[in-house]
Amino acid sequence: MLAKRIIPCLDVTNGRVVKGVNFVELKDAGDPVEIARRYNEAGADELTFLDITASSDNRDLILHIVEAVASEVFIPLTVGGGVRAVGDVQRLLNAGADKVSINTSAVTNPQLVKDAADRYGSQCIVVAIDAKRVGDHWEVFTHGGRKATGLDAIEWAKKMESLGAGELLLTSMDRDGTKSGFDLALTRAISDAVDIPIIASGGVGTLQHLVDGVKEGRADAVLAASIFHFGEYGVDEAKRYMKQHGIEVRL
Amino acid sequence: MSVDIAVIDYGMGNLRSVSKAIEHVAPSASVAVTSDPAVIAAAARVVFPGQGAAPDCMREIDARGLRQVIVDAARSKPFLGICMGMQVLFDHSEEGDTACLGILPGTVQRFPHEAMHDAAGNKLKVPHMGWNNVHQAMPHPLWVGIEEGERFYFVHSYFVQPTTPEVIAGFSHYPFPFTCAVASGNIFAVQFHPEKSQNAGLTLLGNFVTWNPGEHDSACDMSGAACA
């Protein structure tokens, strides 16, 4: 049976992981390769790197990281952040990324999603959707939740699927950073609206939240950053908990 | 100079992962990611990966003049098909109504929309993406060291249906059983991605780079006519 996936997310800037990880005996908590290796050993099903480098001068550093990680860690790697053109997708894939996540540029230039999917296949194109509840519906936001787009999140998800997205990374901007759990209604609404897999993100504070995301939110995968980074829970621990609650996982 | 392992590059997706994983399991082997028919023809072993859509895949193979060298390699030397590189070995794909290479008898079909529910009635997503159990349908040198039911990483919307069940080397469930590995003589082909399947995938690739299909090959004995 197909397993639900657990995906740790690493924020990278200027070639370093921003949030330290409290792995035992980890020499350098900012070294992306070391952290990727530890997550791999702990049973992460995939890894996502989010490049939050502000300066364009240092953007190529993520390519070196992807290349180094891909030489040692043989699970799927997704890279997002600052992907604006088909050329960006190509560079990341050539460096060893398996999937590329497109966020703001999908809104400013939806054709990019279609062009990238046509060129490299839907399997490697993830569209990241940042959604926030506005009145009785959810709206798509960009720029880290600061900029409203006027787009309805459910309609947007369907459009991205039709343009060739192979997967959606859905983040609730209401929940992100709150540790109060996923927005389950949002996750479920989007998961029911499309046929492609949904990665739920934003708000994980406990292992029960991961279970809820799959069972109530009908997510196909769950992404979390801080609960893993700060050593509150291990990926292996999270998987055992999910299994105890009747969720199929890879152990 | 001939290479040990040629990874066929025909413009379909990212081959970096495949070559990196092979280099990892065979550090002393020479590995070339190539679209040069002469290099492929001279290589000791051939890996035929691929992602994307079947019509594009067949078009790119022909645009690069690779059809004959792929058919020849599949008949003559250790040959590993991965994902799309497995599907186009068959006669025909439903994806874009595409005539494929016809090296193995059978067709390629999409996961049918009406069947995509689990036992509890929950919708199953397509593409089939993630880690699923692979059940071994025959003993084979490429399965050595890999547990029955081990999980591998999949991402695909179409699956193969061989006409000759004796080539089925492995199957998975989504939600019904589908063929995810085939073996015939010197050909082994898988729907999943060994290069992204952590230890189990590396074991399979390691088995491939040392595999010598021959008279003592149990798969060959079992698949009968396909090895003649």
Is the pLDDT at A19 greater than 70? The verdict is: no
Which CATH number goes with the domain that contains B213? 3.40.50.880
Flag whether B191 is in a domain. Answer: yes
Which of A40, A95, A196 is closest, CB to CB, to B127?
A196
| Cα–Cα distances in angstroms (integers) from residue A109 to residues A160, B26, B222, in the given order | 11, 43, 54
**How far, in Å, CA of A131 to CA of A139, rounded?**
5
What distance lies between CA A50 and its chain's CA centroid? 8
Catalytic residue (choose from B57, B83, B180, B220): B83
Q: How confident is the model at residue B32 (pLDDT cuts 50, 70, 90)?
A: very high
The first and second tokens of residue A9, run together, are 């997310």
Q: Span B198-212, mean pLDDT?
A: 97
Question: What is the total count of domains within chain B?
Answer: 1
pLDDT-derived band at A23, boundaries 50, 70, 90: low
Give the one of A75, A167, A197 whose C-beta lies nearest to B198's C-beta. Answer: A75
User: Does residue B227 lie within any of the structural domains?
Assistant: no
Which of A135-139, A224-228, B10-14 is the least confident region? B10-14
Element (H, E) at B184: strand B177-184
pLDDT (0 to 100) of residue B120: 86
Q: Give the model's pLDDT for residue B89.
A: 98
CA distance A147 to chain B (A): 31
Q: Is residue B224 part of a domain?
A: no
pLDDT, residue B99, reads 98
The answer to whether the CB of B162 falls within 8 A of the CB of B168 is yes
Residue B176 lies in a domain: yes
Chain A partners within 8 Å of B174 (Cβ): 2
Is B100 an active-site residue? no
Look up B220 and say whether it is catalytic. no
Q: How confident is the model at residue B167, as a pLDDT? A: 98
Answer yes or no: is B137 within a domain.
yes
Whole domain around residue B148: which residue ranges? 5-219
Examine the pLDDT at A247 and tell me if it is beyond 50. Answer: yes
Per-residue model confidence (pLDDT) at position B224? 42
Average predicted confidence (pLDDT) for chain A: 92
Position B51 in a domain: yes
Measured between beta carbons, the chain A residues lying within 8 angstroms of B198 are: 40, 74-75
Within-domain flag for B171: yes
Is there a catalytic annotation at residue A130?
yes
Please indicate, yes or no, if residue B190 is contained in any of the structural domains. yes
Determine, for residues A196 and B126 on separate chains, whether the beta-carbon distance falls below 8 Å. yes
Looking at the predicted complex, does its ipTM rise above 0.90? yes
Angstrom distance (rounded) from CA B127 to CA B49: 18
A2 vs B173: CA distance, rounded Å: 8
| B59 Cβ under 8 Å from any chain A Cβ | no
A13 pLDDT higher than 90: no
